Amino acid sequence: MTALETKEICFSYDARRVIDNVSLAVESKEFLGIIGPNGAGKSTLLRLMCGILEPESGHVALFGQSLAGQTPRLIAQQVAFVPQETHFALNFTVEDIVLMGRYPYQRPFGRDKAEDIEATDQAINAAGIVDLRKRPVNSLSSGERQRVVLARAIAQTPRILLLDEPTSHLDLLHQYRIMELLSNLNARGLTVAVVHHDLNLASLYCRRLVVMHHGKVHCQGTPGQLLTEKILNEVYGTEVRIIRHPDKDVPQVFLHTEGQHEDRQ
């Protein structure tokens, strides 16, 4: 089944077209990675897929239903979005932030219901931030904050989770924790689509990749099919070397450096 589908969508910032006639299907329960160089339109595509932005032409369908005909609240009950970085203008506690994920289910003037509290507790457990729950969010490291935002998205109990570079600026341990968490959620049936700059992480965790280039889908397939010297050279304009990951049979990408011979002297 197709979870989320874009049909011939276009989008421009001012006069600059950043998404050019993109048709893309995210299958239910898959772990999709969206890669491509800076300015390729990856983040914009993600925002179009969850209704934060509206396409100029074409449309986006969520389980067969067009986004245009649905209220933001209804969309938010099915799709959660994790931005690259969140600035917390007010210093809420971690559990307050996670509870805000329940907003799409709450009525104005209504109290927090038992199911809201339960979903919040579960999300805090799943994200492994139980010991942080009473902490003010601005006292946390950026890796911890990213897990809080992820917990908020989990509390939203979505069917699809969209993430914009969730591991950028994070150290190795936090990268690993975030990706393992996403992998677990995916194994339990959540559809995950991640925009990635880190090709090696994308290769390790995503089962299918889409390569964006100049606002179009350049190609799509498994990491093994796409992460080749030829395709990456075409898209990124850089020479790379590909080797296999020692544990898992997936490609890993390395830069080809000009200065290597000088170093050996």
Partner 1 sequence: MTKTALIIIIFLAAIAAGILVGPAPLESQILQLRIWRVVLGVFAGGVLAFCGCLLQGLFGNPLVEPYTLGSASGAALGASVGILIFGAINPALAFLGSLGVGFFVYVVARIEGGILRDRLILAGVVMSFLCSSLVMIIMVMGGRELYEVLYLLMGYLGTIIDATNRTMIIALIVVSLVLAALLYRFHRELDIISQGTETAASLGINIQRFSLILFFSSALLVGMTVSIVGAIGFVGLIVPHVSRLLFGPKHRFNLAASFILGATFLLFADMLSRTITVYELPVGVVTSLVGVPFFIYLYRK
CA dist 102 and 80 (Å) reads 11
- The residue (of 91 and 141) whose beta carbon lies closer to partner 1 is 91
Q: How far is the CB of 136 from partner 1 (least distance, A)?
A: 9
The least CB distance from residue 257 to partner 1, in Å, is 37
CA distance 4 to 118: 28
Residues that bind partner 1 (CB under 8 A): 47, 50-52, 71-77, 79-81, 83, 86-92, 96-97, 100-101, 103-104, 106, 108-109, 156
Question: Of the two residues 99 and 212, which places its CB atom closer to partner 1 in the complex?
Answer: 99
Tell me the closest approach of the beta carbon of residue 87 to partner 1, in angstroms. 6
DSSP state of 106: P
Minimum CB separation of residue 213 from partner 1 in Å reads: 24
Give the N- to C-terminal CA distance of the chain in Å, as an integer: 57
Rg from Cα positions in the chain = 19
Q: Other CB atoms closer than 10 Å to residue 131's CB: what's the count? A: 9
Q: How far is the CB of 13 from partner 1 (least distance, A)?
A: 12
For partner 1, the closer CB: 116 or 198:
116
Closest to partner 1 by CB, 24 vs 76, is 76
Nearer to partner 1 among residue 56 and residue 239 (C-beta)? 56
- Decide whether 78 or 175 has the Cβ nearer to partner 1: 78
Q: Where are the alpha helices (DSSP H) in the chain?
A: 42-49, 72-76, 94-99, 114-126, 142-155, 172-187, 199-205, 223-226, 229-236, 260-264
Q: How far is the CB of 208 from partner 1 (least distance, A)?
A: 23
DSSP letter string over 129-143?
A: -GGGTTSBGGGS-HH
Nearest 5 degrees, angle CA 156-CA 53-CA 202? 65
